[in-house]
Amino acid sequence: MDSNGVDEQMKLVEGAGGYVLEDVPHLSDYILDLPTYPNPLQSNAAYSVVRQYFVDEDDTVPQKIVVHKDSPRGTHFRRAGPRQKVCFKSADVRACIVTCGGLCPGLNTVIREIVCGLHFMYGVKEVTGVNCGFRGFYSRNTVTLTPKSVSDIHKRGGTMLGTSRGGHDTLKIVDNIEDREINQVYIIGGDGTQKGASAIYKEIRRRGLKVAVAGIPKTIDNDIPVIDKSFGFDTAVEEAQRAINAAHVEATSVENGIGLVKLMGRYSGFIAMYATLASRDVDCCLIPESPFYLEGKGGLYEFIAKRLTENGHMVIVVAEGAGQDLLAESIDQQDASGNKLLKDVGLWMSLKIKEHFAKESKMDITLKYIDPTYMIRAIPANASDNVYSTLLAQSAVHGAMAGYTGFTAGLVNGRQTYIPFNRITERQNKVVITDRMWARMLSSTNQPSFMNPPKGTTSVTE
Ligand code: ATP
Ligand code: MG
């Protein structure tokens, strides 16, 4: 039992060649003795081909490929997909969907595909949308979702349900779920949202309610661990190219032109790193995980002067969380969800660089600063994110119908899986600067690694 009076989610069972972590509890194991029914997909002519594709209860996916012959099999997650048996009769399902946290391309696609998946695959008619995030459970009206009402929402950015930060009140939310007799809750959001989903799941378990809680991880920054990548990330990298292109055009159009682009990434620099690798126009990429410094030998100012002398222009990409420790005065403020508010590193850098080169007329530079954050967050998902969002939504639907609960749907090692909430909320996914990808990025830009700051120089740390 944990401090919430809930059995631990994981139990070890013996498995061939080592052990398997039973990561996802089954509703009937833990909450209720639910009767099971044949999966309606079995009798649906349109899906007859799916029959061979029912996923076995014991089918798991390893988190990491373990190469050493003596090592245990490592962490496995249940493979996602339709099961032979489901725990809910279609007519009994009362599902609801909520979106929380910041905007991300693909949110509407996930909503659409949960509604359509429930409706077309499982014949579920009652799906409700909760408006404006967690607080919508107790302070807002709900909206009825049908395949018709969501048919073309994937072509629009944002979330048709609205979203918010803060306002997570577990007891009030679960009271509302109970009052409305909801038995499937789909929660789409980032790390904070998944923590909120976990709290809801635990309270539901404590009350012994027959409710499946399924999460779909949303983070444009790709900062959620375990999963291969998050939906919206590809779209963000693609859209960032437009900002980088604009910065490049500005920089090449004047003498000693510098284009500075700030991209999303509070604690993880994946968008900046991939956008840099994709673009080839970027001369320097700065991310929260990699310390850097401005002054002295090997510093940013020296590199800028070198590139401008060589090429006459340059483009710098900086992730929003980079360089926070270098910024002079700190703002000790949080948003409604308790996330630390960051200072605008892009604005700060543009002032510092201008100031530095103006000093003693070192070099006549022209710097243009572009912050495309809200332009990127608000666009609809691209093709690959639309496909990915669809698979995540369908996995979540299959899992909830089969009676799984307390899980997040996610891609692990290229396979759709069910991951317990605690696994994806316990840490953040970060760029490992000793890994190949960062090395590839460094060789692509040929920028300094900023590894050896001169004595007395402040270098930025995470
Ligand atoms: P992103 O940061 O990618 O925009 P997020 O889901 O992390 O998405 P937050 O604003 O941090 O966004 O959180 C979303 C919701 O989750 C908010 O309503 C917040 O109250 C709730 N939440 C955050 N952290 C927790 C927590 N530890 N326990 C319960 N609820 C939480
Ligand atoms: Mg977050």
Q: Can you give the pLDDT at residue 69? A: 53
Q: Is 266 annotated as a binding residue?
A: yes
Given a cut of 50, is residue 159 above it in pLDDT? yes
Neighbours of 56 (CB within 10 A): 11
State how far the Cα of 310 lies from the Cα of 117, in Å rounded to an integer: 56
Q: What is the mean pLDDT of residues 320-330?
A: 80
Residues 143 and 155 in one domain: yes
State how far the Cα of 247 lies from the Cα of 275, in Å rounded to an integer: 13
How many residues comprise the chain?
Answer: 462
State how far the Cα of 449 lies from the Cα of 285, in Å rounded to an integer: 10
Confirm whether 432 is domain-assigned.
Answer: no
> What are 438-457's pLDDT values in tens digits?
999 999 999 998 887 776 65
Given a cut of 80, is residue 287 above it in pLDDT? yes
Given a cut of 90, is residue 148 above it in pLDDT? yes
CATH code of the domain in which 343 resides: 3.40.50.460
Nearest CA to ligand 1 atom 16: 193
Given a cut of 50, is residue 106 above it in pLDDT? yes
Residues 275 and 412 in one domain: no
Confirm whether 439 is domain-assigned.
Answer: no
> DSSP E strands: which ranges in 41-196?
60-62, 76-79, 85-86, 94-99, 126-130, 142-144, 184-189
| Ligand 1 lining (C-beta closer than 6 Å) | 100-102, 133-134, 165-168, 189-193, 195-196, 199, 219, 337, 339
Structural domains counted in the chain: 2
Residues 237 and 298 in one domain: yes
Work out the pLDDT band at 30, boundaries 50, 70, 90. Answer: very low
Percentage of the chain lying above the pLDDT 90 cut: 65
Task: Give the structural domain span for 241.
Answer: 233-379
Report helix angle 383-401 to 233-252, nearest 10: 160
Most confident stretch, 76-85, 143-152, 216-225, 289-298: 143-152
Q: 196 and 134 in contact (C-beta within 8 Å)?
A: yes
Q: What is the mean pLDDT of residues 134-142?
A: 91
Residues 266 and 225 in one domain: no
Residues 147 and 259 in one domain: no
> What are 172-200's pLDDT values in tens digits?
999 999 999 999 999 999 999 999 999 99
Q: What is the mean pLDDT of residues 402-431?
A: 90
Confirm whether 386 is domain-assigned.
Answer: yes
Q: Can you give the pLDDT at residue 271? A: 96
Residues 164 and 276 in one domain: no
152 burial type by CB count under 10 A (0-12 exposed, 13-18 middle, 19+ buried): exposed
Confirm whether 65 is domain-assigned.
Answer: yes
Residues 209 and 66 in one domain: yes
Tokens found for residue 279: 């673009």
Quick one: which H or E segment has residue 137? helix 136-139
Is 221 noted as a catalytic residue in this protein?
A: yes
State how far the Cα of 216 lies from the Cα of 409, in Å rounded to an integer: 6
Residues 108 and 192 in one domain: yes
Model pTM?
Answer: 0.89
Nearest CA to ligand 1 atom 4: 102
Confirm whether 452 is domain-assigned.
Answer: no
Confirm whether 421 is domain-assigned.
Answer: yes
Alpha carbon distances (Å) from 397 to 92, 115, 186, 215, 382: 15, 9, 9, 10, 22
Asked which of 379, 414, 433 is the last residue of a domain, the reply is 379
CATH code of the domain in which 223 resides: 3.40.50.450
Residues 190 and 277 in one domain: no
Given a cut of 70, is residue 2 above it in pLDDT? no
Confirm whether 437 is domain-assigned.
Answer: no
Q: Can you give the pLDDT at residue 51? A: 54
Q: 36 and 413 in contact (C-beta within 8 Å)?
A: no
Q: Can you give the pLDDT at residue 47? A: 62
Phi/psi region, residue 17 (left: phi>0; alpha: psi -120 to 50; beta: rest), is left
Residues 370 and 385 in one domain: no
Q: How many helices (H) and strands (E) does the chain have?
A: 14, 17
Å from CA of 266 to ligand 1 middle: 14
If you average pLDDT over every residue of the chain, what do you get?
86
Q: What is the mean pLDDT of residues 365-393?
A: 97
> What are 398-407's pLDDT values in tens digits?
999 999 999 9
Task: Report the complex ipTM.
Answer: 0.99
Neighbours of 101 (CB within 10 A): 25
Q: Is 208 annotated as a binding residue?
A: no
Residues 177 and 195 in one domain: yes
To test the ligand 1 pocket, which listed residue (4, 168, 222, 374) has its Cβ within 8 A of the most ligand atoms? 168
Q: What is the mean pLDDT of residues 76-82?
A: 88
Q: Is 264 annotated as a binding residue?
A: yes
Confirm whether 438 is domain-assigned.
Answer: no
State how far the Cα of 138 lies from the Cα of 394, in Å rounded to an integer: 27
Q: Can you give the pLDDT at residue 217? A: 94
Residues 246 and 129 in one domain: no
378 burial type by CB count under 10 A (0-12 exposed, 13-18 middle, 19+ buried): middle
